[in-house]
Amino acid sequence: MNFEFTENQSMFRDMVRDFSRQEIAPIAQQMDEEGTMPDALLAKLREGGFFGLSFPEKYGGMGIDTVTYALVIEELSKASAGVSVMITVHNSVGSYPLAMFGGEEVKQAFLPRMAAGEIAAFCVTEPGAGSDAAAIASTARKEGEQYILNGGKIFVTNGSRAAFFVVLARTPGTVGHKDIHAFIVESGTPGLTVAKKEDKMGLRASDTVAIDLEDVAVPAEHLLGKEGDGFKVAMSALDGGRIGIAFQALGIGQACLEESIKYAKVREQFGKPLARQPVIAEKIADMGIELEAARLLGFQAAWLKDQGQPCTKQAAMAKVAATEAAWRAADAAVQIHGGYGYCKEYAVERYYRDVRVTRIYEGTSEIQRLVIARQLLAG
C-alpha cells in the first residue's frame, strides 16, 4: 500500500478544503440551527460535481478513486457533517446498487441525472427491522410487468430531497433474506410519500424522513439484480458506505482536535495556557494518536476497494475505529473547552451532537464487531 497521495488526490483534497472553508463553514451553524440546507449551497455542490464523485465518467460522473473520495468526505465533514452525509449517502448506498446491479437501459436513464445532482436515497430500515435487515416487512407483489410495493421505511437520509430511492421489499408471506428484492423508484411515483421529517439531535442540515409506500407500481426493469438479490444488493453497497462514514467521523474528530489545539493555546488557567497543562496536553495527544490510527485503517480499506480486493473486514474495522475515536475526540474537546464547550457559540458543541450517530448508522458498532469476528473466525 502506497501512503503517498498522488498529485491528483492532493489537488482534490485542497480544492475541497478551500470550498468547505469558503462556502460551507460560514453557514454551518446557521444550517444546524434552522435544520435545513440552503438551495444556493446545493446549487454550488452540483456545480462542483460533488453528486457525481464516484460515478463512472460514461454516466457523467468524475469517476474518482475511493482514496480520493475519502479525502473529500473528510474535508466536507470538518465544515459540516450534515453536508457530508448527504453527499456520501448519495454517492454510495443511494447510487451504487443501481450502478452495480441495474440494467443498462435504466442506468443510462438515471445515473447521469444522479451525477448531475438529482439526489438518491437508500430505504432499508423499518420500525421492526434495523440492524436485522432480513426482518423487513415491506412487500413487493409481482403483477404482470410491474411490482406493487407496500409498507414503510424510516430513517431515510436525503428522503425529502431525493429524486430516486433504492427500496428493499420482500415477497408477501415470506421470511428471511432469500425473498428480498431491491428496486430503484423515482420520486413522484404515485403512492410514495414522505410521511415525517425527524427532528434530530445532530446532523440537522441533513434531512432524515420516514417514507410510506402504498400500492407503488414499479416497472419490472427497475428491479436491481434478480429476484431475491435484494439482501445481496444492500450488503454489497455497505462496504463503500462504511468507508464513507468512517471518513465522515474522522472529519468531525479532526475538527475537534484542531479546535481544541486552538483553544488550548489561548485559554489560560493557573497562570499559563491550557496547552502547557500536562493533563490537557495528554488529552490532545490521545486525540491525535487515535484519529491517525483510525485514518490509516480507513485508507487501507479504501485502497483495497480501489484494487478490487475484498474489504468487508477492513471497512468494518475502519468504521468502528474511526467513529469510536471521533466520539472520544468530541468528548475530550468539550471537556477541554469547559463550560464554553457546552454552549452553541463554540463549534465543538455541534461536533459532539453530530458525531454520535456515526456509531449507529450504516451498521452499529456492535454489528460491525459481529462482521469483523465472522471474518476473523472464518480464516
- Residue 134: pLDDT band with limits 50, 70, 90: confident
Q: How far is residue 50's CA from residue 341's CA, in Å, rounded to a whole number?
A: 32
Q: Is residue 264 part of a domain?
A: yes
Q: Is residue 214 part of a domain?
A: yes
Q: How far is residue 94's CA from residue 99's CA, in Å, rounded to a whole number?
A: 10
Domain shared by 20 and 57, yes or no: yes
Which is it for the CA torsion 152, 194, 245, 258, positive or negative?
negative
Reading the block at residue 279, the C-alpha cell is 493533563
CATH number for the domain harbouring residue 306: 1.20.140.10
Domain shared by 247 and 365, yes or no: yes
Q: Is residue 1 part of a domain?
A: no
- Write the pLDDT tens digit of every residue in 175-216: 988 999 999 999 999 999 999 999 999 999 999 999 999 999
Q: Is residue 247 part of a domain?
A: yes
- Write the pLDDT tens digit of every residue in 291-350: 999 999 999 999 999 999 999 999 999 999 999 999 999 999 999 999 999 999 999 999
Domain shared by 236 and 367, yes or no: yes
What are the residues whose beta carbons fall under 8 Å from the beta carbon of 342, sequence distance 6 or more? 334, 349
User: What value does the mean pLDDT take over residues 125-142?
Assistant: 92
Catalytic site residue from 75, 259, 349, 362: 362
Instruction: Count CB atoms within 10 A of the CB of residue 279.
Output: 9
**Dihedrals φ, ψ of 206, to 5°?**
-90, 135
Q: How far is residue 212's CA from residue 191's CA, in Å, rounded to a whole number?
A: 8
Domain shared by 219 and 288, yes or no: no
Domain shared by 95 and 68, yes or no: yes
Asked if residues 165 and 184 have their Cβ atoms less than 8 Å apart, the reply is yes
Apex 67 CA angle, 66 and 68, nearest 5? 90
Q: Is residue 2 part of a domain?
A: no
Q: Is the pLDDT of residue 2 over 80?
A: no
Range of the domain at 18: 7-115
CATH number for the domain harbouring residue 105: 1.10.540.10
pTM of the model as a whole: 0.95
Total domains in the chain come to 3
Mean pLDDT of all residues in the chain?
95
Counting every residue, how long is the chain? 379
- Residue 53: pLDDT band with limits 50, 70, 90: very high
- 4 classed as catalytic: no
* Strands 223-224 and 208-219, bridge-based pairing: unpaired
- Write the pLDDT tens digit of every residue in 76-126: 999 999 999 999 999 999 999 999 999 999 999 999 999 999 999 999 999
User: What value does the mean pLDDT take over residues 167-173?
Assistant: 96
Please identify, among 231, 250, 275, the residue that sits at the C-terminal boundary of a domain.
Answer: 231
Domain shared by 49 and 93, yes or no: yes
- Residue 131: pLDDT band with limits 50, 70, 90: confident
Please identify, among 115, 132, 164, the residue that sits at the C-terminal boundary of a domain.
Answer: 115
Please identify, among 178, 198, 231, the residue that sits at the C-terminal boundary of a domain.
Answer: 231
Domain shared by 129 and 61, yes or no: no
